[in-house]
Amino acid sequence: MLRTRILLAASTAACIALMSSAPASAGVSVGIGINLAPPAERVEVVPVRPHPGWVWVKGHWRRGPGGWIWVAGHWGHPPRMNAAWVPGHYNRRGDWIEGHWRY
């Protein structure tokens, strides 16, 4: 909550500064991106493995245009031997990284 208030105050101050120094006909645009963590994982029932060697890719949240979207878990065939599924996560800079296969 405090972080949101600080960002709101900073963006308001930036808008005022930009508007006061810009010509009357200029347009001003300010965007704020806040990385919010995905909701809690859903509990899924894992069905029987359809083929030997396939691995369970558990369900996960994916960012969509309107917010977080649940992607149901499924059996997947690894693209290479010993490939592992890496679930979606935030990197050190705070960017969301989608789930992917690691070789």
Give residue-wise pLDDT tens across range 14-29: 555 555 555 555 666 6
Of residues 65, 59, 67, the one with CA closest to residue 88: 59
Secondary element (H or E) of residue 84: strand 84-86
Burial of residue 60 (CB within 10 Å: 0-12, 13-18, 19+) is buried
The residue extents of the domains of the chain are: 1-34, 39-103
Q: Report residue 81 as tokens.
A: 């031997």
pLDDT tens, position by position, 75-98:
988 999 888 888 878 889 988 788
pLDDT tens, position by position, 28-74:
666 555 657 788 989 999 999 999 988 888 898 888 898 999 999 99
Identify residue 20 by its one-letter amino acid code: S
Nearest-angstrom CA–CA distance, 12 and 10:
5
Helices (H), 1-103: 2-21
